[in-house]
Amino acid sequence: MDITYYYNDWIAIGNIIKNMFDEEGRALFHKVSSFYPNYDYDETDSEYSAMIVGQYRYNSDRLFEIAAKYGLIPPIKK
């Protein structure tokens, strides 16, 4: 299932992976991104490289919000 359809979700997921795994998360980001019908290895790799040097800190709760939006987990109650 593609959970990266929306650009903002894709960037959030990438930054969460980066925050958790740093450079070791690159392959995971490619794997998650590859479900997108227009997946492009070079674009994905370039985005992840930018994330590595960036200072964006997404809360991992955002990952659960995205998963709930796509029906992978029950909706999160606030």
The three-point CA angle 7-13-18 to 5° equals 125
Between CA 13 and CA 8 the distance in angstroms is 9
| Half-sphere exposure of residue 77: CA atoms within 13 angstroms, side-chain side | 0
For 23-38, what is each residue's pLDDT tens digit? Answer: 999 999 999 999 999 9
Q: Which is more confident, 77 or 15?
A: 15
For 57-71, what is each residue's pLDDT tens digit? Answer: 888 889 999 999 999
Threshold 0.85, pTM exceeds: yes
Q: What are phi and psi of 58, to 5 degrees?
A: -90, 140
Instruction: Name the token pair of 33.
Output: 């991104």
Would you say residue 21 has pLDDT above 80? yes
